[in-house]
Structures are given as structure tokens and as C-alpha cells.
Amino acid sequence: MFSIWDWIIVVGYILGTTLIGHRLKGRQQTTRDFFLGGRSLPWYAVTASTIATTISAVTFIGVPALVYAAGGDFVYLQLAIGGFIARYLVARFLVPLYYEKEFYSPYEYMEDRLGQIVGRITAGLFFIGGVLGQGVRVYATALVLELITGWGLMGSIVIIAAFSILWTWMGGIAAVIWTDVVQFFILVFGGFAALYFVVGALPEQWTTLIHISQQEGKFRVVDLSTDPRVAFTFWAALIAMPFQNVAVYGTDQLFVQRLLCCRDQNEARKAVLWANIGELVPILMLTIGAGLFAFYQFNVLPEELAPLVWERGDRIFPAFIISEIPVGLKGLLIAAILSAAISSLDSILAALSQISLTMFYKPLFNPRAQESHLLKVSRLLVIIWGAVLAFMAWQFSGSNLDLVTLAFSMTTYTWGPMLGLLILSIIADRYHVAGIGKSVVASIMVVLLINEPELLNYMFATDFKDPVLAWPWLFPIGCLICVSFSLRGRKEVDN
């Protein structure tokens, strides 16, 4: 089903994007160039890169599957509420803090406020959360590559990781951001092209899609349920998801690193606020999911693909692309999915290597190292972290969760306490802060018990079969536990 012409397009896209990233990366003579792009990147490039990283293969593959599934609808769209609130808060309050000095990461800011131990604890949380969260995205794309090549899951993971390592190793964050800009446009074009073909294949096109979707309740957007075990509700989006999104845009180096590449804080604020347009992409992908549901009311999956989709519903969109999209465009759409994965992976590789170098290697092992040496170590760290992420992606092959739930669940362990540590850093002038290590451990353990009912049953003789709370509520819980356990009262203020 995947022709030689499709392969030519995929390979040509990857080579072309590599060349663009190489040409636009600029000089790479210092770690400042490698990790901050010399603080010379325009805000619109940072915005496009941020959206491309946010979309990822999980959005491109997993979101249509949410609507296509039995009982699926548009309630996922409610999560945008938390994103809008959080981006305003980050632009208004956090960006100025990070531009007070030449910080390379939010963890350096926290270290500056609360000491080296806190900075390294937060950096360690980032390592754990980054590997878990981005490992899911690599796994999601490997499912597609496995489908079209037959190389097997592990072989597909290795190919994705190899190209991501190459792009990051080649030009640092500047190359990553400029390749992300290209990938952003490919992703959006690919989404619209897929929607055009799925709607065009229906008997009465949009009329059929709307009729079937309304009949099946696919267009339901708002869920006012107060059940805390339901993830996609209005209340979770309004109350819990701002915590998650502030943690993403304010404490996750994957995103903060981009903001720190802007020329000044005003440009960084623009980059954050304009990233709100990225919420249009989930609308597009949800509509594709409704179109797929309508399409397969009149058509059947090819015999060779049907068992794979039945095994894992997340494969429905790639299966449609492979079996129904014309030659040539099929290759471009698969290239869009691959670009989403590589975009996310090269971003996290740049962030992981930077934190490893600036927070651990340089201060602990070689504080007097020359820039040329640090640049070599940075590239070596990219390779090491690429191997770690590939291994983690392989571990997720045994999960039964859908991709969206799996991706979010993996970040619940670290984003809550990371946001808590950021809040403690900000209020450290007014409050006594102590026992941070114990607070972080307590936060992670509570989230672990809620996420893993088997542990809860073993410890307390309960009989839970599913998580006690839906994953959105774990972000504020983790944050508040970390903050409340570390506060020791208000400081006396000298007059």
C-alpha cells in the first residue's frame, strides 16, 4: 500500500528538512549558541516551534482516535480552557522572572532563589518527566512506522531516535526550532489534506459527516460531570488543567528553552500568547476523527489492517492514510506524522542535554571547562539521552491505555511538584521554605498511589480496579502537596 513514490517523498522531506535546519542554524561556537540560539530567534519562529512540539504524534494520531472510538466525542476540546489561562499567566508573570538574568533554564532560576539542591531536584524531576512523556510520543510514531514498513516496533523506534539525534547534534536548539517551523506547516497542511479526502469520500460529503456525527453525539463538547474519575470535563479543564499548562510552559525546559531563545522578554511574551492559535489544531484533528467514523460506516478496513486497528484503536488514522489516500499525498501525510515525532524528540534531546550539562556536568565535574569541550560533551549527551528515550518508548509497548491518556498520565508524577517548587521559589522572599526533598517525595508517592490502584489495594486493603482520580486532578494535587509540606510560616519583614 505504500509505494516507491511515497517513500521518495518521505525521504526527500527528511533530507530537505535536515538541510533547512543546517542552513538556518547559524553559528555554533559556544554552548550559548547551541542551547539558546544566541538569543536571536524571532518570536514567530518560537511560536511555530512551540505549537509543533505541543502537537506531536500523540495529537496527530491519538486525538482522531478519541472521536472515532465508540462513544467518542469532542470533549477533549475543553482542555483548551486551561491552556488559554496558563499562557496568559506565564506571559504575564513568569517570562519577566526568567529574563532577570541570563538563565539557561527555569531550574537555574529556582537554584538562584532556593539554592543548588533545589535546582538539581527540579532538574532531576525534569529528567524523569521528559523521558516518560516523550517516550510515549516516540512510541506513538513507531506504531505508524511499523504499520507501513513491517520493520517491527523496536526497529521503528531506533530509526526515529537516530534522525532526532542527528538533527539535534547537528545544530542545537536553533536547528531544532527552524526545522520545527517547517514541520508546523507540514503538519497543518497534512491535517487539512486528510480532512479533504475523508470528507470527499462520503456519499454527501459534509452533510453525511454532520448527520452521522449528530446522530451518534460526536459533536458534544461540554461535559459538566462532577465525577472526579472522568478526565475530560469542564471542571477539570477550568480548575485542574491550568496547573498542568503552567507547569508545561513555565517549568518544562522543553518549552521554556524556546522562550529563552527570544531576543527579549517582550518577544518571549508574544511567542507564548500567539501559541494560543495552536488550539485550532485539535479542532482539526477531532473533525478528522468524526470523518473517519462516518467513512467506516460505508467502508471496511482492508483485511491486513483490520486486526491491527482492532488490537489498538490509535492506529485508525494511519490505517486510513495508508489504505485510502492517493499515492504521493500519502507519503506527505506519513512524513507529517514522522515530523511530529522527530520535532518532539529533538526538542527534548536539546533540553535534556542542556540541563545535564549546565546543572550537573559543568558545576560538579568540570567547572573550568573550555567552551569547545562543553560543546563536545553537549553532543555526546544528545546521543546518550536519545538511547534512553528509545528504550523507554519500547517499554510502553505493553500498555493498554490509549495514547492521549498514556501521554498525560506519564507527566502527572513530575509536573505537579515542579510547579510547586517554582511557586516556592517565587514566594521565598516572604515565606520560610524547608524540607523540600521530603515534600517532592510525598507528592510523587501520593500521585503514584492514585495512578496505580494495585499499590493502594495492597497497602490499605481496598478494592480499586481503576485510578481513584482522573489524571487532570493529579497536577494540582501534586503541586499543592509540595507547596504545603514545605512552607514554615511567613518571614518577618524589616521596616
What single string gives the DSSP state of each residue in 121-185? HHHHHHHHHHHHHHHHHHHHHHHHHHHHH---HHHHHHHHHHHHHHHHHHHHHHHHHHHHHHHHH
Measured CA to CA, the distance from residue 355 to residue 363 in angstroms comes to 11
pLDDT tens profile 319-374: 898 888 888 888 888 887 777 667 667 777 877 887 888 888 888 888 888 878 88
Is residue 396 a contact partner of residue 138, using CB atoms and an 8 Å limit?
no
Q: Does residue 410 form part of some domain?
A: no
Query: Which pTM does this prediction carry?
Result: 0.85
Looking at the 3D structure of the chain, how many domains does it have?
Answer: 1
Which range among 56-65, 85-94, 444-453 shows the weakest confidence by mean pLDDT? 56-65
> Domain range holding 389?
4-396
pLDDT tens profile 206-254: 999 999 999 999 999 999 999 999 999 999 999 999 999 999 999 988 7
Measured CA to CA, the distance from residue 10 to residue 173 in angstroms comes to 23
* 419 vs 357 pLDDT, higher one: 419
Mean residue pLDDT of the chain comes to 85
Is residue 150 a contact partner of residue 320, using CB atoms and an 8 Å limit?
no
The model's confidence at residue 402, banded by pLDDT at 50, 70 and 90, is confident
- Find the Cα–Cα–Cα–Cα dihedral 344, 345, 346, 350, rounded to 10°: 100
Task: Give the pLDDT of residue 396.
Answer: 83
Which range among 14-23, 230-239, 470-479 shows the weakest confidence by mean pLDDT? 14-23
Alpha-carbon distances of 158 from 128, 131, 321, 493, rounded to whole Å: 20, 15, 23, 56
Task: Give the pLDDT of residue 266.
Answer: 93
The model's confidence at residue 313, banded by pLDDT at 50, 70 and 90, is confident
Task: Give the pLDDT of residue 379.
Answer: 81
* 399 vs 451 pLDDT, higher one: 451
Q: Does residue 418 form part of some domain?
A: no
Amino acid at 463: D
Please list the residues that pair with 487 across neighbouring strands.
433
Q: Torsions phi, psi of 302, nearest 5?
A: -55, 150
pLDDT tens profile 84-135: 999 999 999 999 999 988 787 888 899 899 988 888 898 888 888 888 888 8
Task: Give the pLDDT of residue 404.
Answer: 80
pLDDT tens profile 169-213: 665 667 677 777 777 788 888 889 889 999 999 999 999 999 999
Task: Give the pLDDT of residue 271.
Answer: 94
Pick from 188, 147, 129: nearest CA to 343: 188
Percentage above 70 pLDDT, the chain:
92
Task: Give the pLDDT of residue 226.
Answer: 93
Q: Does residue 492 form part of some domain?
A: no
Task: Give the pLDDT of residue 93.
Answer: 93
State the average pLDDT over residues 3-17. Answer: 82
Q: Does residue 338 form part of some domain?
A: yes
pLDDT tens profile 314-330: 888 888 988 888 888 88
The model's confidence at residue 29, banded by pLDDT at 50, 70 and 90, is low
Alpha-carbon torsion 304, 306, 311, 313, what sign?
Answer: positive
CATH of the domain at 69: 1.20.1730.10
The model's confidence at residue 163, banded by pLDDT at 50, 70 and 90, is confident
Which range among 90-104, 176-190, 290-304, 471-485 shows the weakest confidence by mean pLDDT? 176-190
Nearest-5° Cα angle at 145, 249 to 159: 75
Task: Give the pLDDT of residue 491.
Answer: 81
Please list the residues that pair with 490 across neighbouring strands.
431
φ/ψ bin of 232: left (φ > 0), alpha (ψ from -120 to 50), beta (otherwise): beta
Alpha-carbon distances of 317 from 13, 190, 275, rounded to whole Å: 21, 12, 25
Q: Does residue 331 form part of some domain?
A: yes
Burial of 169 (0-12, 13-18, 19+ CB in 10 A): buried
Task: Give the pLDDT of residue 399.
Answer: 74
